């Protein structure tokens, strides 16, 4: 390979490693958000399932590893260090295999994941009191913003312990449909039903969540494909540069 091609390969590989470093930072940031967020749908699942917490730790770990790989890949590309380039290629290959495996598992386990999610939400609604600021208020926020009620429908709230044991007719305040007459609007808690029918949305939140996933499916798939393409190109460039390095010159590596 000519010197010009080596130089181009080297700086292209540096660019891809920089992108990989940024992707790693985004993945780690997403993992941290999942772990500490308390104002989204994730918070409802996190409180009731250790799986989400484990997944967030995995995301943080993968993101940190990706950032470290991007850094060492940049060093290996600029200073043409074969051992770092070979290590970078191996790690990229392992990560790509892990991503494909995870995608396949999620696809074939999607019904089980959906069932587990439904159980978590329904259990939360049964024990709902309106006092838990983490999960219950987050679920109120979801119902209010997505304009939905319950998981499959407003009938899910009939299993709530407080509603079943109350002498009053109660409904979830965050389910309140503004276009229907009723009591004053409240963001959280349980409200008294004055009419024969509760003034709530008829659509279950599972429909809204599935619609959101379908609307954003292209974006999610695009991000996954983009990450995979960057990884493949990084692997190809690292191998090309590694084969072109005949003798390593460690004197070029800065010493601190």
Quick check: 123 pLDDT over 80? yes
Q: Does residue 199 carry a pLDDT above 80?
A: yes
Supply the pLDDT for residue 32.
79
The distance from CA 231 to its chain's CA centroid, rounded to whole angstroms, is: 20
Closest CA to 199 of 173, 225, 234: 173
| Start-to-end C-alpha separation, the chain | 32
| Closest C-alpha to 6, from 232, 230, 246 | 246
Q: What is the reported pLDDT for 59?
A: 76
Q: What is the mean pLDDT of residues 88-106?
A: 80
Q: What is the pLDDT of residue 247?
A: 53
Q: Is the pLDDT of residue 249 over 60?
A: no
Q: Find the length of the chain.
A: 256
Q: Can you give the pTM of this predicted structure?
A: 0.57
Task: Note the pLDDT of residue 250.
Answer: 46
> 148 φ, ψ to 5°?
-135, 175
To 5 degrees, how large is the angle CA 141–CA 42–CA 215?
Answer: 80
What stretches of 198-216 show up as alpha helix (H) in DSSP?
205-215
């Amino acid at each position: 390979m000519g010197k010009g091609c080596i130089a181009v390969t080297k700086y292209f590989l540096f660019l891809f490693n920089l992108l990989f470093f940024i992707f790693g930072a985004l993945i780690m940031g997403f993992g941290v958000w999942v772990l500490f967020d308390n104002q989204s749908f994730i918070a409802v699942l996190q409180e009731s399932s250790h799986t989400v917490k484990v997944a967030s730790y995995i995301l943080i770990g993968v993101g940190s590893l990706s950032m470290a790989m991007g850094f060492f890949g940049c060093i290996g590309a600029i200073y043409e260090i074969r051992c770092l380039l070979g290590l970078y290629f191996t790690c990229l290959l392992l990560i790509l295999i892990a991503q494909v495996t995870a995608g396949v598992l999620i696809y074939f386990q999607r019904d089980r994941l959906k069932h587990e999610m439904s159980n978590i939400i329904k259990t939360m609604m049964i024990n709902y009191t309106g006092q838990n600021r983490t999960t219950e208020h987050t679920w109120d926020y979801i119902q209010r913003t997505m304009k939905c009620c319950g998981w499959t429908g407003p009938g899910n709230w009939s299993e709530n312990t407080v509603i079943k044991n109350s002498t009053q007719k109660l409904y979830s305040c965050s389910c309140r449909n503004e276009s229907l007459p009723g009591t004053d609007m409240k963001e959280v808690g349980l409200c008294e039903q004055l009419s024969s029918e509760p003034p709530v949305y008829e659509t279950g939140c599972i429909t809204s969540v599935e619609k959101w996933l379908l609307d954003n499916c292209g974006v999610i798939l695009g991000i996954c494909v983009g990450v995979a393409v960057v990884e493949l190109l990084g692997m190809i460039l690292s191998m090309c540069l590694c084969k072109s390095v005949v003798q390593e010159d460690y004197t070029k590596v800065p010493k601190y």
